[in-house]
Amino acid sequence: MFDVLEEGEALVLILELLNGQSLSERLLTGMISTSEALGIGREILGALQALHDLGIVHRDLKPSNVFLTRHGIKLLDFGLVRTTDTTFLGDPDQTRTAASLTAPGLLVGTPQYMSPEQAGGLPVGPPADIFAAGAILYEMLTGRRPFDGTSLVDVLYAVLHQNPPPLSGSREIEALDRVIRRAMAKGVEDRYSSAREMLGAMEFILLSDSTAVASRTRTVSRNCLTVSRVEKR
């Protein structure tokens, strides 16, 4: 927001004009290559680290709140944002955040991208945003949400108790799968300690030419066995 003006009895907000599309719209228009998904994922994590360094937790990170521009991504919709009393980095010895965060028992956010602690109505810190970033990266690579269902109860149960099918194909895809699974670990202490740490893990993944142009990693369940393949353009 750049300014607030008064026009008679009306208040006018002067906002930044963004040219581009949301990630949710991008997911509907066509397949996202592995290299593009990695690039978007890295920018999301960079933005999250900037927020977390300020003691801010987004709490509603999802594709519709990631806006793609030619200059990079923008994180939108800070309606559920809260601040922590200290920089919460997922350290198991650090057991609390500010009481101003989600009150126990209050469910806020978007179920498909909620962390288990958020789905359980518990106070959340930056690890909840890291969980959502992992879920978004999984969706970009596969074209499907890692946690879904026909009802809210189904989605929340999946978030709390289930893991999405693993990704496989090239060595790089399997390395990405390990990064995503750690980001989406059920326990806060099992996730990356910060967005910066997850970003560092992704920087070690160097895509081969064939993997970089892979347009989508699909997961298919057959007779209780999960088969994953990478489709190339």
Q: What is the pTM of this model?
A: 0.80
The set of catalytic residues is: 60
Mean pLDDT per 10-residue run, the chain (233 residues)?
Answer: 92 93 93 91 96 93 95 89 57 40 58 93 92 96 92 93 89 91 96 96 78 59 42 43
* DSSP output for 125-143: -HHHHHHHHHHHHHHHHHS
What residues does each domain of the chain span? 21-232
Inter-residue contact 59 to 81 (CB < 8 Å): yes
Cα 123 to Cα 83: distance, rounded to the nearest angstrom: 11
Domain 21-232: homologous superfamily in CATH:
Transferase(Phosphotransferase) domain 1 (1.10.510.10)
Q: Which amino acid, 228?
A: S
Inter-residue contact 232 to 213 (CB < 8 Å): yes
DSSP state of 166: P
DSSP state of 59: S
Angle between helices 126-142 and 34-53 (to 10 degrees): 170
